[in-house]
Structures are given as C-alpha cells and as structure tokens.
Amino acid sequence: MSDIDKLFATLTNLQQQKRLPPIHLWQPERVGEIDIRIDREGDWFHEGSQIKRQPLVDLFATILRKEEDTYYLVTPVEQMAIVVEEVPFLAIDLDTRGEGQNKELLFTTNVGDFVVAGIDHPVYMVNERPFIEIRDGLVARIQRSVFYRLVEEGVEEEGALIVYSQGARFDLGSIS
C-alpha cells in the first residue's frame, strides 16, 4: 500500500469513527438565540471574543444544524440560533490519489472533518468562489491555497476547467 493510500485509509477511517450526535432526531421545544458567530474565515466568536479552544469549536461543529437559512446549535433540550457570516466551515487541505475520472479528492476542514468529494459531497462554484458540501447541507468554502491545488488537478473540457472525484464531474468555471 502506498503512502497516499495509507493516508486516505487513515483519514477516511477516522471520519467513519467520528461519532456525530443524532441531531436530525432532536426537536427541542426550547428555541432561542445565542451570541455565537462564525466569521468568513471560519473563526468562532462568543459574545465578541474569539473561541480559541479548538476542541470546543470542533464539539460545537458536531451539533450544528442548518434549517432553511438559519444555523442552530442543537441539543436534546434546546436549539439556539447562531450567526454564520458565509458558511460554517473551511476546507483547509487537499490530498489526491488516482488519476482521470477515478481520481479521489480528499478535503480536510478546519473542524476535523475529512470528506472525499463525490456525489454526496459535491464541489461547486458560487460567484467564482469554490465550496464543498460536508454534511446535511453544511458547507465549507475551499481556501484559496487549497483551490490552487484543486485547479492543478483539473483538466480542460470544452473550454471549462473540470475536476473528477469518485467518478463525479465538477465544473470549476470557464477557462479564459
């Protein structure tokens, strides 16, 4: 097994072992707001002060849910709305293996998620900004340095820059 295969196996195994709470089953009666904000750079703030403890941010990310255009931190007893300036997560790293349409693109987020782009985790562009769906409608913006690496994986098809992962085709925009 190659080093990249070992890396993919390790990271995807870690993601599978990550136990996310069943927030989709929780419908708490107590609903309100809490002064938590996620800025455009993926930093979390409580009452104006940055939350610097990464394990706490990672924990909050596991109980984050989006309903329509509102984000909530959800527990079995309460659902508290928070402010998300753009999207809740950032894709901060990219690893690849394979070639052509069988290539796999493994993204790492700023909250410790590992996701292989594909049908369930599409890569897409909005106003020339790249994103990837992480889970349950929660999205990560692909950081600029990661996007440059993604572009290097692309191929030109009919005037567009295309990347493939797990057989899925993603259009990164026209080549000018």
pLDDT of res. 23: 86
Beta strands in 20-88 (DSSP E): 30-38, 44-46, 49-50, 64-67, 70-74, 78-84
Please name each of the domains of the chain with its CATH number.
3-84 (3.10.540.10), 89-174 (2.30.270.10)
Per-residue pLDDT at 175? 82
Mean pLDDT (10-residue bins), the chain, 176 residues: 59 61 88 95 96 92 94 94 97 94 95 94 96 96 97 93 96 86
C-beta contacts of 106-112 below 8 A and 24+ residues apart: 106/7, 106/8, 106/11, 106/12, 107/132, 107/140, 107/142, 107/146, 108/11, 109/134, 109/140, 110/42, 110/140, 111/57, 111/58, 111/61, 112/18, 112/58, 112/61
What residues have CB less than 8 Å from 113, skipping those under 6 apart? 15, 18, 61, 89, 134, 135, 140
- pLDDT score of 131: 98
* Euclidean distance between CA atoms 14 and 8, whole angstroms: 10
Q: What is the pLDDT of residue 16?
A: 57
Per-residue pLDDT at 174: 86
- Residue 34: per-residue pLDDT: 94
User: Do the Cβ atoms of 16 and 10 come closer than 8 Å?
Assistant: no
pTM: 0.87
